[in-house]
């Protein structure tokens, strides 16, 4: 009998505790509402809109509070560019004649993520032209076995990639694509010149040439 009475006394207490837990748990688990970032200024893009050059995105300082981190997504004509998720973006050939923008999303604990989009309307140029001048020169004796060497003075901007091709009587010499050339018997009595080509992605390729003085001779013919 004592056992039955004890069970009857405990049952209301167990039910009351369970009810209290059920009522209290939802409010205890409920998270505080997320705050919102403020600021209407769009991200800015610096750099020249030209194939081969790099654009950089910057979040305005007016966003409040200051984000603890930001993420990026570059856009081509409003559509995401696959893999372009850094603060900088190097423009590709397919960006030519399109408009490049960037979507920047701000993050901070206790705040809902917010996204702003830059509002550039500038189309990316496919082709540009170098500025400045390039003067190639060739030094060395015109003797079989002797080396001809290029000497280039350049004020070209931006800095291009220079490639070389030695030419005999206006015909390219096979394999002679370095800045130096060792003359061979086939050069005797023939004009040799050096062609220098400046190239860079997004720019018109330009070429200059310079003749080596005189024609090649045999070593024994040199006085």
Closest to 142 in 3D by CA, of 175, 191, 176: 191
CATH class of 134-221: mainly beta
User: Is the full-model pTM beyond 0.75?
Assistant: no
Closest to 97 in 3D by CA, of 76, 118, 75: 76
Share of the chain above pLDDT 90, in %: 63
CB 53 within 8 A of CB 202: yes
Quick one: DSSP state of residue 145?
A: T
pLDDT tens-digit profile of 83-140?
A: 999 999 999 989 999 999 999 999 999 999 999 999 999 999 988 888 898 888 899 9
Average pLDDT (137-156) is 91
Q: Map out the domains of the chain as residue ranges.
A: 44-117, 134-221
User: Are both 44-117 and 134-221 of the same fold?
Assistant: yes
Q: How confident is the model at residue 31 (pLDDT cuts 50, 70, 90)?
A: confident
Average pLDDT (41-67) is 95
pLDDT tens-digit profile of 179-193?
A: 999 999 999 989 999
| Token reading at 97 | 């004649």
Closest to 37 in 3D by CA, of 113, 101, 90, 89: 113
pLDDT for the residue numbered 204: 87
pLDDT for the residue numbered 19: 41
Q: The domain 44-117: what is its CATH number?
A: 2.60.40.2700
| Token reading at 74 | 């570059």
| Token reading at 211 | 């003749």
């Amino acid at each position: 009998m004592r056992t039955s009475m004890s069970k009857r006394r405990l049952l209301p207490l167990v039910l009351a505790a369970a009810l209290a837990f059920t009522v209290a748990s939802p409010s205890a688990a409920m998270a505080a509402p997320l705050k919102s970032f403020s600021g209407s200024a769009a991200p800015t893009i610096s750099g020249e809109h030209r194939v081969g050059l790099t654009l950089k995105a910057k979040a305005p300082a007016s966003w409040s509070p200051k984000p603890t981190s930001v993420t990026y997504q570059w856009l081509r004509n409003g559509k995401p560019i696959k893999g372009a998720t850094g603060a900088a973006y190097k423009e590709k050939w397919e960006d030519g004649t399109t408009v490049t923008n960037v979507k920047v999303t701000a993050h901070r604990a206790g705040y809902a993520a917010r996204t702003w989009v830059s509002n550039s309307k500038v189309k990316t140029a496919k082709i540009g032209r170098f500025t400045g001048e390039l003067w190639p020169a060739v030094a060395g004796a015109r003797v079989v076995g002797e080396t001809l060497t290029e000497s280039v003075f350049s004020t070209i901007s931006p800095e291009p990639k220079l490639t070389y091709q030695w030419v005999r009587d206006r015909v390219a010499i096979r394999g002679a694509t370095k800045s130096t050339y060792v003359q061979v018997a086939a050069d005797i009595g023939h004009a040799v010149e050096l062609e220098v080509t400046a190239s860079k992605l997004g720019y018109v390729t330009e070429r200059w040439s310079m003749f080596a003085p005189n024609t090649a001779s045999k070593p024994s013919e040199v006085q």
